[in-house]
Structure 1
Amino acid sequence: MIELTPAAVKEIKRIQKSRQQPESYFRLAIAQGGCSGLYYALELCETVPNGEQPYDLEGVSLIIESKSLPYLENLRLDYAEDLMGGGFRFHNPNAQATCRCGLSFTEKV
């Protein structure tokens, strides 16, 4: 399963509130593209797409795209701020390599 750190939970809730969607779902998926071949796609959804399962993690209603599940097994999602601003940090044991931005990765073969 996926782990959300307290900082990630706080940021997700902040985003939901700032967009006036406090009851929305936080959807996590993997898409083709990015610097390394695959990238993380994040969005807020008002409804659960067909065939997808919502999970309640640390008070966040999380949707994980079904076909993305194998890529996200044991993912740890964190949020951190630095001199360049804030952003989600993905700690993915299923990634063989990641790009410098941290949003794109190559899957383990």
Structure 2
Amino acid sequence: MIHLSPTAASEILRLRSKRRRNNQDLMFRLGVQSQGCLGLSYVMGFDGETRTGDQVCDCDGIPVVIDSESFPYLNGLFLDYSEDLMGGGFRFRNPNVGQSCSCGLSFSIAG
């Protein structure tokens, strides 16, 4: 299960509306990839299709699509969005993370 804060949901809807002119069925895709100093990093985007094995979570009316390889790493994730003097950005609170990089862009899994 994935959880979105109200500000994250609002930002996802804002970003989707900018891209939606070409595709009315865009879904928010969330995943992880091998990258960064600790091995994994988050990836986000919009996709008009689901693939075999995808999990689709309904987060207050926002379809969040996660591929089967990423789901174990993201299950229980709380996604927030905030703005500060450096600009806006998504913030990830993931109960599966064992260690985070000081830059906050990569992580390793607990265990």
Deviations 1:42-65 (A, max 9, x none): 110011122213221111111011
Residues 12 and 22 of structure 1: CA distance in aligned 2, closer, same or farther (over 3 Å): farther
1:79–1:24 CA distance, 2 compared to 1 (3 A): same
Identical aligned residues as a percent:
46
Q: How far apart, in 1, do the equivalents of 2:43 and 2:82 lie?
A: 18
Cross-structure match for 1:58: 60
Which residue does 1:9 correspond to in 2? 9
Q: Distance in 2 between matches of 1:27 and 1:43?
A: 5
Extract unaligned runs of 5+ from structure 2.
Answer: none
Residues 1:67 and 2:84 aligned together: no
Superposition TM-score, scaled by structure 2 size: 0.90
Q: Which residue of 1 aligns with 2:39?
A: 37
Classify 1:22/1:81 alpha carbon distance in 2 versus 1 (closer, same or farther; 3 Å): farther
Q: Aligned-pair distance for 1:22?
A: 5.4
Q: How much is the aligned-residue C-alpha RMSD, in angstroms?
A: 1.3
